[in-house]
Structure 1
């Protein structure tokens, strides 16, 4: 019985430490907010949508010890594809960076060393929201603190492979989930 009590205490202590450290790593934005509707600036220009297709401003703080780089993803789990929709996948952002500016994607303004992967629209960088008419979709913007300086990827990796490599090397992540409907 003593063993079970000590084990339960250890598990609880680990859970509390993980929760506390996870709260330290935070994502914020002047462009998007948790649960809020995306502005037209962040909507795709095409596929029946009329938007600015601009990447949002993102800032993060409290990166965990051991962070060697960051990755940014924007994912729509509600897309009617069977596998969701990757709107943005950027890797190899140096650990010294803690933000990306409004509209940085696709303009040459991403941090030095960052690699923007081809999104599910077929172009490198950010691709805005564009759900089917009448549907509300979630857009999960995530910054991943990674344990490696660079993800070693082939020249034209699939988003599934990039997602696998990001998740395999993530120490912690911070998220903002916005929504959009038309």
Structure 2
């Protein structure tokens, strides 16, 4: 290893300690929901109403803990990588969640239920806020809910920001993330 030749075993020990510390911190950051467990099927409460689906279109309750040190805000995303679009399907994107936020109640999508300052983007159904699951008949899709810890208080996105732009900015400022994945089929 080049570091060992240049700096010796001390550099190797520092690198190992840093890596192990980051891994331990990542394991501490967790996202959970009373609405579903990891890998479980979403209820009809979290299914879209429209596009041939008949659900409650209710955003699930979510809570998180163990955010990395230095977190200044959070972003929350819900994404279906299995949608037959070539780019997946964004079901929910909330940015600028204050750093002291640790949970969202069921049905939190929409103001004033979200914490002050939080901003919801337009989902891939074309409406602002949460859009529930609605895969094509006969297909099982994954719905990945991710809480992103960010190193900035605000992402400063334009009002009509796309989910791709938001994803880029989230990625540029992410210092940690926690995920929970549910499935749904009809």
The TM-score with structure 2 as length reference comes to 0.93
Q: Which residue does 1:79 correspond to in 2?
A: 83
Q: Which residue does 1:39 correspond to in 2?
A: 43
Q: Which residue does 1:132 correspond to in 2?
A: 136
The TM-score with structure 1 as length reference comes to 0.94
Task: Compute the displacement of 1:31 (Å).
Answer: 1.1
Whole-angstrom CA distance in 2 between matches of 1:19 and 1:45: 40
Q: Which residue does 2:20 correspond to in 1?
A: 16
- Deviation per residue, 1:26-80 (Å, 9 max, x gap): 1111112100000000000010111000000011111111100011000000000
Q: Which runs of 5+ in 1 are unaligned?
A: none
Whole-angstrom CA distance in 1 between matches of 2:181 and 2:104: 17
Give me the CA root mean square deviation. 1.6
Whole-angstrom CA distance in 1 between matches of 2:167 and 2:69: 22
Whole-angstrom CA distance in 1 between matches of 2:84 and 2:13: 44
Q: Flag as ranges the 4+ runs of structure 1 deviating above 4 A.
A: 7-11
Q: How many residues align?
A: 182
Task: Compute the displacement of 1:166 (Å).
Answer: 0.7
Q: What SS does the aligned partner of 1:92 have?
A: strand
Q: Which runs of 5+ in 2 are unaligned?
A: none
Q: Which residue does 1:171 correspond to in 2?
A: 175
Whole-angstrom CA distance in 1 between matches of 2:141 and 2:75: 22
